[in-house]
Amino acid sequence: MNRKLWMNLMAAVLVAGLFMTVSCAKKTIVTEPTTIEDQVKAEAEAKAKAEADARTEEARIKAQELQDQMANEQTLEQAKIAAAKNRFTNQNIHFNFDSSELSSMAKALLKEKAEWISDNPGINAAIQGHCDERGTTDYNLGLGERRAMAAKNYLLNLGISNSRLTSISFGEEKPLDLGSSEEAYRKNRRAQFVME
């Protein structure tokens, strides 16, 4: 009976041992693929992170670029506005000697000015009429007014409101160029726009 007990005990130990061995062996085998899997995962994770980082950076750069571009465009737009404003006040309408007739170039410039006035509703314009130094003071005051009126009437015909335009003649009193050359005379015979 005792012997049988021992046998059973022994068998139990053996089975247990076997089980243990089997389980240990199994464990070792299982362990290897798990490690590989972890590595791949880590790599993938790293890669994903890098990619995400790259994407973020790219987005950031893109955003920055967009911002820069917008800023540039704004500057450009502002420059354009300033240029248009400058053209409005600095680009004079020129006339022939003893004439208040608008040339085709004068009309093109006046159309541009009409657009500018339409685009800038808060601003009114004074149109000054000027003459070159030749001729008589009184007559040139009259001629200067006719030049200012010719420019003003053209703008009125283009739909600019009368309330936004005034005109004044300075005759030969305010030359741009103090010289006595044909070129100076040409510059001085003008309708000049001043913002109010």
- β-strand pairing of 165-171 with 125-130: parallel
HEC assignment per residue over 92-135: CEECCCCCCCCCHHHHHHHHHHHHHHHHCCCCCEEEEEECCCCC
User: Residue 172 Cβ, how far from other proteins at the closest point, in Å?
Assistant: 10
Q: Which is nearer to other proteins, 84 or 156 (CB)?
A: 156
Q: What are phi and psi of 47, to 5 degrees?
A: -65, -45
87, 107, 146, 187: which one binds other proteins (CB under 8 A): 146
Q: Which is nearer to other proteins, 113 or 147 (CB)?
A: 147
- List, in sequence order, every residue forming a beta bridge with 190; answer none if it has no partner: 94, 130
> Alpha-carbon distance 80 to 87, whole Å?
10
114, 149, 158, 184: which one binds other proteins (CB under 8 A): 149
Q: Which is nearer to other proteins, 109 or 155 (CB)?
A: 155
- Does position 137 interact with other proteins (CB under 8 A)? The reply is yes
- Does position 132 interact with other proteins (CB under 8 A)? The reply is no
Cβ-contact 189, 92 below 8 angstroms: no
- Which residues have C-beta within 8 Å of that of residue 85, sequence separation ≥ 6? 116, 120, 195
9, 123, 168, 195: which one binds other proteins (CB under 8 A): 168
User: Residue 157 Cβ, how far from other proteins at the closest point, in Å?
Assistant: 15
Structure tokens at 138: 């009184």
32, 138, 183, 196: which one binds other proteins (CB under 8 A): 138
Q: Which stretch binds other proteins (CB under 8 A): 2-10, 21-29, 143-151, 156-164?
A: 143-151
Q: In the complex, which residues of this chain contact other proteins (CB under 8 A)?
A: 98, 134-139, 141-143, 145-146, 149, 168-170, 173, 180
